[in-house]
Chain A
Amino acid sequence: MLEFLEITVDKFTFKVAADRFYNSEGVWAKPEETLIRIGLSDFLQQRSGDVAFAEVKPVGTALKAGDEVAVIETIKVNIILTSPVAGKVVEVNPAMETAPEAINQDPYEAGWLAVIEATDWETERLNLLDPRAYFARMKVEAEQEVKRDDGQKT
């Protein structure tokens, strides 16, 4: 059973899965033995909007941390997602081709993007945010967005 850190800001509730790491833009990295599964945080998917298309780099692509790993087109924006770790893409979620809405429906499980064979996970995880650190960062960003939206309404 997944455990979450959770916060409600205005009418939105955001969850941060407690069993993985995050880069600053909200891409999570979950170690699974020797491999790293990646995906979008709940906050990132909610702020981005309903996903229309997701294009993930194909299996075999070599990545450095910070390289583009996927492009997501939503009803609001196109966003380039960067890899939280260096390594090689060894699996892409087939749902990204057929049902990318899984990102919105289940960002921490069925909506995963890819699995990466990390080059040096033990070192790179030090550059990522643990769940509490990401939660604190996300909270600030969420509150700023709500304030900005309120400002636009008045």
Chain B
Amino acid sequence: MTGRKPKTRVVIVPCSGIGKTYGTVSREAAYDVTGDLRPAETQLVALSMLVLGDETARSAVAGNPTITIDGCKLACATKMVRESGGVVAQDFAVLEVYRRYKQFKPQGIAELNEAGEQLAHALADEIVGIVDQLTKDSSDNIQSDGGQIG
């Protein structure tokens, strides 16, 4: 198979809030996207690596469109990506997503309840929509540039 590899890999940075239900939803959604739904088009960057100043993580967010998923209004993921020189293409707040899916009330911390899992899947689907748009835009740009990067 000789399918063209996308030139852009969208970086996903979820909340690092361990012990918080909404943080867990953010990470589950990120795992859904990067592990199952769009593994070739996305890459997961741990917020903690940005906090630590890890060069690989900083380069990833600085060089690719980034989607952040924040578990609370502190919005650490979004702030840290920006502080690391990245451009946030889209930021999601789990609470706002929950307001759109009231039937999925998340509970649990180490392990989400079923509704929490469903909320994470719903969030993942929304993220995929943005990923597809970003990778399509990137692909369109490449084609209009005669297939050259930049």
Contacts and interface: CB of A to CB of B under 8 A. Distances in A.
A83 to B, nearest CB: 25
B98 A52 contact: yes
B102 A75 contact: no
Q: How large is the interface on A (under 10, 10 to 19, 20 to 34, 35 or more residues)?
A: under 10
Interface in B93-142: 95, 98-99, 102, 105
Interface in B1-34: 21-22
A104 B95 CA distance: 13
Contact of B72 (A50, A53, A73): A50
Given A50-B72, A104-B73, 12 more contacts: A50-B73, A50-B95, A52-B95, A52-B98, A52-B99, A53-B99, A53-B102, A73-B105, A75-B21, A75-B22, A75-B72, A75-B95
A109 B95 CA distance: 22
A50 B22 CA distance: 11
Contacts of B105: 73
Interface residues of B, number: 9
| For the complex of A and B, 8 pairs with smallest distance between CB atoms | A50-B95, A52-B98, A75-B22, A52-B95, A50-B73, A52-B99, A75-B95, A50-B72
Interface of A: 50, 52-53, 73, 75, 104
A52 B95 CA distance: 6
Contacts of B95: 50, 52, 75
Contacts of B98: 52
Interface in B35-87: 72-73
A53 B103 CA distance: 12
Nearest to A99: B99
A75 B20 CA distance: 9
Nearest to A49: B72
Nearest to B73: A50
B54 to A, nearest CB: 28
Nearest to B71: A75
Contacts of A52: 95, 98-99
A73 B98 CA distance: 11
A30 to B, nearest CB: 26
A73 B107 CA distance: 13
Contacts of A104: 73
Contacts of B99: 52-53
Nearest to B22: A75
Nearest to B21: A75
Contacts of A73: 105
Contacts of A53: 99, 102
A50 B99 CA distance: 12
A75 B24 CA distance: 13
A4 to B, nearest CB: 22
